[in-house]
Structure 1
Amino acid sequence: MLGLEYFSFRDLWSPLFMAAILLITAGYLLLMGPLSERFKNGSPVSTGKKIAFVSGMLVIYLAQGGPISLMGHIMFSFHMLSMALTYLIAPPLLMLGIPDWAWRGILKYNPLRKLSFLAHPIVAAVLFNGLFSFYHIPAIHDYVMLHFGIHRLYYVVLFASAILMWWTLVNPLPEYSETKGLKKMAYIAINMVLLTPACGLIIFSSTSLYATYNDPTVWAKAMGYCVSGDTTMLLRTFGGPGYFAYMDPHVDQQVGGIVMKFIQEIIFASMLAVVFRNWYKQENKDDEVYGNELKKA
């Protein structure tokens, strides 16, 4: 399927990355379970939080270590699916899996405290969406895809900015929850708008923008990130990414932009509905309390 049978187990499943994910997950389950009472105010976390964290780690693995990651170097639509999974789905799952007492400990001993201004809602929204949009400028994207050290660094920075962006929405600490109600809804809307120009450029471009997906030579070099051995063999054997792709590069690019925007719209629209419902209930509750006080008076 999709030509994946031509790649080795190592290429498809990234065993070292899998081992790292399993190690981190095991450490989390140990620290949040049997060892949790050793921490100040610590207590075992609920099954729901464990499921959220483990799901987040699984999503990261599938997006960055599994076949989706490999296909993301062959087809732009899979690249955007990987981006959506990594930065829009995994961060909130991981953050929801961390209990409030652990968050307080992390923030108390945070060595990057001087950079806390980056978590301000407007700054975080502009930072994440700006980094994401900048990365998808064709020249920048192709450069990053061909320079593996920069590729890893950029993805780490982008993931950190995604955590900061999500902090306003899934932050469990009341002392850090300054954005509520209408402000939180406005924040969600801002994020939905800020990603639109990049997706729009990708979707409505009249040509295929990225050499990684339409130039066989560039593609073969980029494949060195996820395929072991001499990648020029891929060029000699298959001729280019077109051998595996089932869509024209231009159509594939448009599908990728649609996939990213569609997933973002679904996630943020769902968040908007939840925030609106909570805000509506709180407003009605406040009105009811105020009305009862007037009756007593």
Structure 2
Amino acid sequence: MMLGLEYFSFEEQWSPLFFFFMAAVVILYFYLVGPWKEKHAAAAPTVTGKQKFQFISAAALFYLAQGGPLDLLGHLTFTFHMSSMAISYLIVPPLLLLSIPEFLWKAAFGHSFWRKLRVFMNPIFTLLAFNIIFSLYHVPLVHDYVMTHYTIHRLYYVVLFVTSMMMWWQIVAPVQEWARLVDVKKMAYIFANGLLLTPACALIIFADSTLYATYNDPQVWVKAMGYCVAGDPSYLLEKFNGPSFFNIMKPLEDQQTGGVIMKLIQEIMYGAILAYVFKQWYKREHADSDDDLPNPGPAGHAGASS
């Protein structure tokens, strides 16, 4: 058995409509940083190859996590579900923020209208909004409800993605003049994010029993699978004996592995960003210190000689 994907159709694995939507987004991006920029922002710096690669990577990862095979696998095992969540909300947002050039951010959010909503970009608000919504999602009753009610599922994921972008904005700050955090405050913000995410991961990792009916109750599982397969998903129960058919681990091990993966990816992402921010701060501090040192000129040398 190869993860169970062989039992599903090409359309169920690859979500062609979502693929074409993401392809359209990529085409729009290249139009905006190419022909549109030449007409409306010719003086702006040229978008780098690195930024274009970051955008394509973000789009590809988001498609795989939310519409490709990883999305389907995330409905079969909790481990893949948490992998999808980590990619969607911890890896894709910073890539996306870094890939979009400053002139596009200013064109989109530079209007005076957005100033009325600046309160929602307060670092404390964005910190709490993302972590509360993300942690609340992993409360068993909430998780199973979201996974089995498709409209709520879509809306919750949209809100989660938006709040993740708002949270990462404080760290990445693609428009420097709009940044609210610098240096030590930014490092404290990153540390606080890791701290606030820990209880949800701990709940999953250290639970002594399975928490989510979506991955343990065949009736709940088959209802959740309606998000991935066309028509009435009840045929899945006739063909398989529930999610356990696809899982190579015991249910509790699958749950714990998912929690470990989420925490591990979070630690790697936040750790790497924290190290980068610290390095930049350290360089600036030492550059300022060097500027304050006396500069021995000709007079200084003459005085020393005499």
Q: Is the 8 A contact 1:69 1:79 kept in 2?
A: yes
Distance 2:51 2:122 in 1: 25
Report the counterpart of residue 136 of structure 1 in structure 2. 138
CA contact (8 A) 1:118 1:124 kept: yes
Note the 1:106-145 alignment, pairs <5 A: 106-109=108-111, 112-145=114-147
Q: How big is each residue's C-alpha offset from its partner over 1:200-257, in whole Å with a ceiling of 9 and x where there is no partner?
A: 0011111100000000010000000011122111011101011111111111110001
Q: C-alpha separation between the residues in 2 aligned to 1:110 and 1:238?
A: 56
Partner of residue 9, structure 1: 10
* 2:93–2:168 contact (8 Å) kept in structure 1: yes
1:32, 1:43 within 8 Å by CA — same for their partners in 2? no
What corresponds to 2:99 in structure 1? Answer: 97
On the 8 A contact 2:61/2:87 being kept in 1, the answer is: yes
Q: Which amino acid aligns with 1:144?
A: V
Query: Using the alignment, how far apart are the partners of 1:31 and 1:43 within structure 2?
Result: 13
Please give the residue correspondences for 1:129-278 in structure 2 after superposition, counting only pairs within 5 Å: 129-278=131-280
- Identical columns (%): 50
Aligned equivalents of 2:112, 2:221: Cα separation in 1: 40
SS of the residue 2:209 aligns to: coil
Partner of 2:79: 77
Q: Indicate the residue corresponding to 1:18 in structure 2.
A: 19
Aligned residue in 1 for 2:29: 28
Q: What is the CA distance between 1:116 and its match in structure 2?
A: 2.1
Aligned mates of 1:252, 1:146 — CA distance in 2: 20
- Counterpart CA distance in 2 for 1:243 and 1:106 is 47
Distance in 2, matches of 1:180 and 1:267, equals: 18
Structure 2 distance, partners of 1:111, 1:268, is 32
Alpha-carbon distance in 2 for matches of 1:80, 1:151: 15
For residues 185-204 of structure 1, give each alpha carbon's deviation from its aligned partner in whole angstroms, at most 9, with x where no partner exists: 10110000000000000111
Amino acid in the other structure paired with 1:92: P
SS of residue matched to 1:292: coil
Comparing 28-37 with 125-134, which one deviates more in the overlay? 28-37
Residue from 62, 85, 95 that aligns with 1:60 = 62
Q: For residues 34-53 of structure 1, what are the structure 2 equivalents within 5 Å?
A: 34-40=35-41, 41-42=43-44, 44-53=46-55
Larger deviation: 34-43 or 135-144? 34-43
Q: CA deviation at 1:143?
A: 0.4
Q: Is this contact kept in 1: 2:129–2:163, CA < 8 A?
A: yes
Stretch moving more, 224-233 or 108-117: 108-117
Rg (Cα) greater in structure? 2
Q: Deviations over 1:160-180 (max 9, x none)?
A: 000000001111222112311
Deviations 1:101-146 (A, max 9, x none): 1111111137554332222212111110100000110000000101
Runs of 4+ in 1 over 3 A off after TM superposition: 40-44, 109-113, 292-297
Cα distance change of structure 1 residues 48 and 182 upon mapping to structure 2, 3 Å threshold: same
TM-score, scaled to structure 1: 0.96
**2:76–2:215 CA contact under 8 A, matched in 1:** yes
Q: Which whole-Å CA distance do the structure 2 matches of 1:174 and 1:19 have between them?
A: 33
How many residues align structurally? 297
Task: Please give the alpha-carbon distance, in whole angstroms, between the structure 1 residues aligned to 2:201 and 2:220.
Answer: 23
The answer on whether the counterparts of 1:34 and 1:44 sit within 8 Å (CA) in structure 2 is no
1:261 Cα offset (Å): 0.4
Residues 56-112 of structure 1 show CA distances to partners (whole Å, capped at 9, x for unaligned) of: 000100100111100111111111000000001111111111111111111113755
The answer to whether the 8 A contact 2:102-2:175 is kept is yes
CA displacement at 1:45 relative to structure 2 = 1.3
Once residues 247 and 214 of structure 2 are traced to their aligned partners in structure 1, the CA distance between those partners, rounded to angstroms, is 13
